[in-house]
Structure 1
Amino acid sequence: MRPFYPILLVGVLGPVSAKHRSRIRPVDESKLPFPKGPLVWGDVNFVHTTDIHGWVLGHHHSTWPEPNYSANTGDLYSFLTHLRSQADKAGVDLLLVDSGDHHDGAGIVSVYPNTQEHSQHYRSGGSVVDYHLSKLGYDVLAIGNHELYKYPDALQVADDVRDGIWDKVDRKNGGETSTRFLTSNVEITLDGRNRSESIGARYSKFKTRMGKDVTAFGVLYNFSFNAKNTAIQPLREMVRESWFLEAIQDRPDFFIVAGHMSINRADSEWQLLLDAIREVHEDVPVFIFGGHNHVRNCERLDGNSISFAGGRYMETVGWVSANLTKNESNEMDVSRRYLDSNRRSFKYHARVPDHKFDTHEGKAISESLFKTFDRWNLSSVLGHAPQSYFLSRYPVTDDRSLLKKLMDDVLPATVYDDKVLQHGRKRIYLANSGCQRFDIFKGEFTIDDQYSISPFSSPFVQITLPARIVRVLRQKMNDEGASQFAPSPALEQGMSEEVVRKAFDASMVKQRQDYEDRRQRELEFLRLAYGQTVFDAEVERESDLVHRYGYVTEDNCGPVGSGDDVEHVPVPYAPVPDYVSTTFPEGVDDEEPVFVIAMTFFLNDVVKAVSKIDPAYPPITYSDFEPCGDSSMTSNQVWGHYARKHWN
C-alpha cells in the first residue's frame, strides 16, 4: 500500500504564499539571460536530470550564477507539461530520464525531524525528495551511490519503489503499471529475508506514446563503498547474465541505458555495455544517460548512439533529440542542449504566454515543498554572513575562500578540547576539501545553507605527534593524494567524494583557462587595432560580466559551448588541494608534541603519511585517535554553530 502524503493536499493554488517563501525569494526573471534559440526536436526526445542531491527547491541566492538555477521541481513539472503537449501535437516522443544521486546535499534531503508528525508523512528526507520528483513522471531512472552509503537510505529507496511511486502505465502490457526505477546490477537484502533482490526492476520493456518499443536498463558503476546488505554486481559480470542476454534478444526501436557513471571514455564502462548490445543488434539506436562526476558532457561511442550527462544540483536540465531514420552515413542525427534550470529558460522553450506557464499541479508541488521547507525550519536564519565565501572561486590563501575561513576561524571556534586550550598546547586542524560541497553567500545564513555546504556527518578526533612530523603532514598528504582505500564508512564516503570533486574541478578550471586565453587574445587585438583607451575600457567592462557567469561546456559532440542553451562567461575557478590545514604555529621545537585535529573521513591518509614521513616513528593506528571536544559537533554542524555565535 502506498503511504499517505497529506502535505500535498493543499487548498486554493494561487501564487506561493509569502508565509512559505519567507526565506526563498523569487528571482527577477528579467535579469536572467535568454536562450540562444529554440530546441531542436527529433523523432524521439529526452529530458535528463542527474545528481540532484536534494536541490528540489532550486537555488535561491542572488549571487551569480545562482539565479540561473532558480527553478524548483514545481516549475520543472509545468515545463515538462508544455513540452509533452508540444511532442503530442508534433507526433513525436518525449521521455524523461534520471541518473541517480538524489540523496546527500541540500537541507531538505539532509535534515529529517525525528517526530511522529513528520514520520507519518515521510520515511526520511530522501523520501520527501523522491516523492516530489516522482510527480514529474519519469520514464527511466537509475540509482546513485549516495543512495547506498547507508542501509536505511537504500531501504527507503526500496520501500518507495515497492509503494509504487515510480510506477508508470505500460502500454506494451495492456495498460498495466510497472516501476521505471531500474537497478540492473544493484541488490538489497531486506530484513527477515535470507536472499538479496533487485532494489528496483532489472530492466523494463515498454511502448512510448507514439508506439515505439523500448528496452531500458539502469546501472551503477563498480561502487565498492556500499552499505552492508547491499550489493553491486560488476558490469562485466552483469552483461553475461542470462536475464540480460534474454532481455536484449528482441529488437526494440531503441535502447535506453540510464546509469550513475561518468560518460568519459577513460573512466567508465559504457563501451562494455554498448558492445554487449551491439553483439546482438548492430545498428539499433542506444541512448546512454550518465552522471556521477557532476560535469556536463556528451560522447558518441558509435554512429547510432549518444552518451549524455546533464551536470548536477538541478543547475542543468539536459535535452537530447534524435531522428531514428538514418542519414546518408547510416547513422542517426542527434542534437543535445544544456538548459539552465530557471523559469525564463523554461518559459522560452514552453512556447506559451507567461500567464499560462504555471500549471495547477506544478504550483501544488512547489507549495508542498515550500511548506515542508518551513515546517522543518530550514528557512531559520542562524546568522548573517558578512561576505561571500567561495569553495573554489579563489585560491585557498584568499580571504574569500570558504576553506580558508573554515580552517582559520570556524574549526578553531567550534571544535576543541578544553584541556588542550587550558594548557596552551599547540594544535593544528586538518580537513579534506571534499567534505565541503558549496559556497556561502553574503547575507542570511540558514539551516538549509548549513547542510547544503556540508551534508556529510563526520566526527572529529585528535592525536599528538612530534612537531617535525606535523609541520610537513599536510603537504605529504597532498603529495600522496586522497586515498581510494577506506577503513571505515565515513572515510569511504569522504574518499569517494574526492574523485567527484577532482573531475568537476578539472572541468571548471579548463573552462576558465580557455576563456582567459581567448579573452587575452581579444584584448591584445583591441589594444593593437584601436589603442590603449579602447583596451582600458574593455578591461574595465570585465567587472560587468558577473551576471553572465555560468557553464561553458566542452564536450565531444560539437564545438565548445555549442550545446549550451545560454552563452555564458565561465566562473573564475581556482583548483583546491585535497587537504587543507591551519597555519603551523611558530617557535615550536621539532620534538614538541602538537595536537592534530581531523575528521574521521580521512584517517587512513593521516596514518599512511606519518609512516612515510618518518618510517622509524612508532606506527599509529586508528585506536590512537581520541574524540575531540563535544561529540555532537560533527562536520555538518560546525558552520551552524559558528554562525549562531559570530554572525549575529
Structure 2
Amino acid sequence: MIFSRIPLLLTFLHVASAEQPSAPSPISAPLRELPWSKGRGSINFLHTTDTHGWHGGHLKEAQYSADWGDYISFAHHLRQRADEDGSDLLLIDTGDRVDGNGLYDASDPKGKYTFDVFKEQKIDVITSGNHELYLANSSIREYDEVVPDFRDSYIASNLDIYSPKSGKLEPFAPRYRKFTTKNSGIRILAFGFLFNFHGNANNTVVQSVQETIKEKWFQDAIREKDVDLFLVAGHVPVRDSEESDLIYKAIRNAKWDTPIVFFGGHTHIRDYRKWEKKAWGLESGRYMETLGFLSINGLSSGKRRLDATTAKSPVYRRMYIDNNLFSLHHHSGTNHSSFPTEMGKNVSEKIEKARKKMNLDEAFGCAPQDYWLNRAPYPANDSFLSLLDTHILPDTFTAALQKPSIVISNSGAIRFDIFKGPFTIDSTFLVSPFTSGFRAIRNVPYGAASQVLQYLNNQGQILLEDLVALSVDPTMYKLDDLTPPLPPVGLHTLERVTVAGHKAFAPRLIGRSESEQILLVNGDKDAPALPGYTTRDDAGSDGDDTIHQEIQFYDVPNCIAANIHFSPSSNKPLVSEEHAELRSRQGGTVHLAEGTKPETVDLVYNVFVQDWVLLALQYLGHDYGKEATEEVLEGQTMTDIISGWVRDNWACEGEK
C-alpha cells in the first residue's frame, strides 16, 4: 500500500505529554502521512544524527519534546508493523552523539548516564562523528563502551585508534557489514565513514576517504556478489561533499546498477539528495528535533528475484518527522495509552533520574526575553551574538584585563538559542558545550590587531579562504567550523538575500506546495500553523511531516569582537556603524567618536580560533607562534563565562 500524501489535520490538543515531566505538551498541527513501504522487496529506515546529547528531548520546545525512551517505543511499533506486512525496518545513527546537552556534558565523567540510555535502542548501523574524537578521553569511552554495546552494527570504514590496552593502531570497529534483513531477505552491504576530519586527538587516525576507497578490502567489498543494496552511513554531508561523491563513484565503477542509499550528517540540516534514480541520500537534522524516515520499495532480494525484463527501478521516499508525541502516535497508529512500551518507559525514567542527580533544572537566573542565534539578524536587540559582544564579553573581560584589549570569539562557540525564562545548568551546555578556554597575545600593534576580525569575517584586503590557501597546510582549516551549524533545512534550495538590510536565507521556490494547497481545500484553513522547518530538497517541499509556518533564518558573521578598556575618544569601532550604535545604546564598550588609538593591545580569543588568528597576523606581518600565547581567565570556558554573567545580571522574578 502506498500511503496518501494528503495531510491529516489532528483535531485533538494536549491529550498526550512527553515522557519527561518538565517537557511541554506537543501542540496539534497538520500532518502528512508516513511513506511506509510494505511487502517483499520493501525496506524502511529510521535515521538519527547529530543528537549531541539531547536524548532527554527539548524541554522548552513542544515540537521536539519526545525523549529517547519515546523513540524506543516508536521504533518498537514500526518493527511490529514491518513484521506484520512482510517489510523490514532498520535503524541508523551517524554520529555526534556527544557535546551539547547537560545530560551528557554535566556528568563526571562525561556521558556517565547517556551511554546506558543510548544503548537500549537497537540500532542496525552506527558510526562515529567528529565530536566523539576531539578529546582522547571521549574516543576511548566510545571505543570501550559504545562499540561493544553495538558489536557488529558499529562500522568504522576510515577510522583507527591506538588501542588503550596494546598501544597499537587498530580499526575502531569493523570496516563494513554484510547482512540480510529478517523479513524481505534483502542483502545489504553497509559502510560507515567519517569526513576527512583533522581535528581529532592524537590517539585516533582518520584516513581520508580518497585513500580508503583505494584499499583492497574496500575494492573487494564493493565487488562482492549477492548484494541487493549498498548502504553508506556516515558523518558526512550528503550534498556538496567530495567524500560522498567519491564513494558513490567508486561503487558505481564496480556495480553500475545496484541500488545505493546514503545516510549522512554533520551539517545539522534536513536534506535529501538524488544522485540518480537508484541512489539517494538522507540527512536528518540535529539535536533530536528530527527522526529521519526513508523507504525503498521494489528491491530485488534473496527471497524475491526480479527478472531483468520486468524489473522496475526501486522507489525511494523520505520524511522528516518532528520528534514529538503527536507525530509519533500518529505515524505508529497508537495513542496515549497504547504507545509507551516497557523499555521506553524505563529509559525515560533513567533520563529523569539522571537529570535530577545532576540538578540540570537548577537556574542561574531568568532570561528576560528570547535571544536567537540565527533566527534574528545580527546585530539586533534579540540576537544572542549581539548580547554576547555588547554585554557578556565586555562585562567579563573588563575586570579581568588591565589594558586596551580586543576579545574575539567565533560565532560557532554558540550552539543554540536562549529562551525567555529560567536559564539552568542544562541551558549552559545547550548554548555552549565546548571545553576550550581563552588565550591572549600581548602587546600586538593596534594596526594589525584591529584588522584580524575583518579577515576572519572575509572582509579584509584578502579573503580568509585565500589566506588559508596560502598556508602551509590548507587542509587543517575548515572555514565552516567558525560559524554555528547552518539552519536545519535543505539550504541548497535557499539563496542568500537581504531582508531589511540584513543577510538572510530565503527559498528559491515561491508559493505553496501541492500538499499545502490540499490542506487549505480539505482541511481547516484556520488551523494553527506552528513555526518550524520548511524543507526543500531534491524530492520537493513535502518532506516535513508537520506543515509549518516558515521560520526566517539570518546569516551571522564568522566571528564577533568586543573592545575592552577603549575610551570613547580613542576607539575606532571594529564593527559596522549600525552595530556600534547598538552597543552604545545598550551600554556597551564601542562608541563612534574617533581619536588617538592605542599603540598596542592585547589580542584575546577563544582557543578554537587560534590557528586562524595566527594566520591573519602572519599575513599582516607579525609572525607569532603558539608559544607566544598565554592563558587568560584561569582557563574559564565560554560556558563558564555565560553562566557567570547570567548569575550576576539576570535575577528571576521575586529575587533581589
State the partner residue of 2:349.
367
The structure 2 residue matched to 1:400, chosen from 382, 407, 416, is: 382
Structure 1: distance between partners of 2:393 and 2:431:
14
Structure 2: distance between partners of 1:304 and 1:132:
36
Deviation at 1:516, TM superposition (A): 9.8
Secondary structure of the residue that 1:355 maps to in structure 2?
A: coil
Structure 2: distance between partners of 1:485 and 1:413:
37
The structure 2 residue matched to 1:128, chosen from 102, 105, 113, is: 113
State the partner residue of 2:50.
51
- Is the aligned partner of 1:587 residue 2:596? no
Which sits farther off after the overlay, 593-602 or 213-222? 593-602
Structure 2: distance between partners of 1:112 and 1:26:
21
State the partner residue of 1:28.
25
Deviation at 1:461, TM superposition (A): 2.3
- Is the aligned partner of 1:474 residue 2:453? yes
- Is the aligned partner of 1:577 residue 2:557? yes
The structure 1 residue matched to 2:534, chosen from 552, 556, 580, is: 552
Deviations 1:383-437 (A, max 9, x none): 11111111111222101111111112112233455561xxxx4333211101110
Deviation at 1:595, TM superposition (A): 3.3
Deviation at 1:472, TM superposition (A): 3.5
- Is the aligned partner of 1:427 residue 2:405? yes
State the partner residue of 1:604.
611
The structure 2 residue matched to 1:142, chosen from 127, 130, 137, is: 127
State the partner residue of 2:303.
none
Deviation at 1:133, TM superposition (A): 2.1
Secondary structure of the residue that 1:243 maps to in structure 2?
A: helix
**Structure-to-structure mapping, 1:337-356, within 5 angstroms:** 337-356=319-338
State the partner residue of 1:199.
172
CA contact (8 A) 2:270 2:489 kept: no
TM-score in terms of structure 2 length? 0.80
Q: Report the count of equivalent residues.
A: 568
Q: Give, as a single letter, the amino acid of the residue that structure 2 aligns with 1:138.
A: I
Which sits farther off after the overlay, 223-232 or 311-320? 223-232
Task: Give RMSD over aligned pairs.
Answer: 3.2
State the partner residue of 2:234.
259
State the partner residue of 1:383.
365
Q: Give, as a single letter, the amino acid of the residue that structure 1 aligns with 2:646.
A: A
CA contact (8 A) 2:69 2:345 kept: yes
State the partner residue of 1:306.
280
Deviation at 1:579, TM superposition (A): 1.0
Percent identical pairs in the alignment equals: 31
CA contact (8 A) 2:48 2:291 kept: yes
- Is the aligned partner of 1:67 residue 2:62? yes
Deviation at 1:233, TM superposition (A): 1.7
Change (3 A) 1:39 1:333: closer
TM-score in terms of structure 1 length? 0.81
State the partner residue of 1:174.
none
More helix by share: 1
Deviation at 1:73, TM superposition (A): 0.3
Structure 2: distance between partners of 1:180 and 1:302:
27
Secondary structure of the residue that 2:99 maps to in structure 1?
A: coil
- Is the aligned partner of 1:152 residue 2:132? no
Change (3 A) 1:109 1:494: farther
Structure 2: distance between partners of 1:33 and 1:510:
28
Q: Give, as a single letter, the amino acid of the residue that structure 1 aligns with 2:630.
A: E
Change (3 A) 1:611 1:572: same
Q: Give, as a single letter, the amino acid of the residue that structure 2 aligns with 1:501.
A: P
CA contact (8 A) 2:17 2:325 kept: no
Change (3 A) 1:301 1:127: farther
Structure 1: distance between partners of 2:359 and 2:241:
41
Structure 2: distance between partners of 1:467 and 1:49:
47
Deviations 1:47-85 (A, max 9, x none): 111111111011111xxxx32111100111111111111
Structure 1: distance between partners of 2:284 and 2:489:
16
State the partner residue of 2:5.
none
Change (3 A) 1:419 1:484: closer
Change (3 A) 1:504 1:562: closer
State the partner residue of 2:629.
625
Deviation at 1:503, TM superposition (A): 7.8
Deviation at 1:199, TM superposition (A): 1.4
- Is the aligned partner of 1:165 residue 2:160? no
State the partner residue of 2:592.
none
The structure 1 residue matched to 2:181, chosen from 208, 212, 215, is: 208
The structure 2 residue matched to 1:412, chosen from 386, 394, 398, is: 394
Q: Give, as a single letter, the amino acid of the residue that structure 2 aligns with 1:304.
A: K
Secondary structure of the residue that 2:634 maps to in structure 1?
A: coil
State the partner residue of 1:172.
none
Deviations 1:502-533 (A, max 9, x none): 5869929649754598479xxxxxxxxxxxxx
CA contact (8 A) 1:296 1:553 kept: yes
Structure 2: distance between partners of 1:269 and 1:41:
30
Deviation at 1:564, TM superposition (A): 1.3
Deviations 1:108-163 (A, max 9, x none): 122223xxxxxxxxxx433533432221100111111111111111111111145x
State the partner residue of 2:268.
294
CA contact (8 A) 1:492 1:601 kept: no
CA contact (8 A) 1:389 1:441 kept: yes
Secondary structure of the residue that 2:639 maps to in structure 1?
A: coil
The structure 2 residue matched to 1:567, chosen from 542, 547, 560, is: 547
- Is the aligned partner of 1:439 residue 2:417? yes
Structure 2, unaligned stretches of length 5 or more?
A: 1-15, 300-305, 497-503, 513-524, 571-595, 652-656
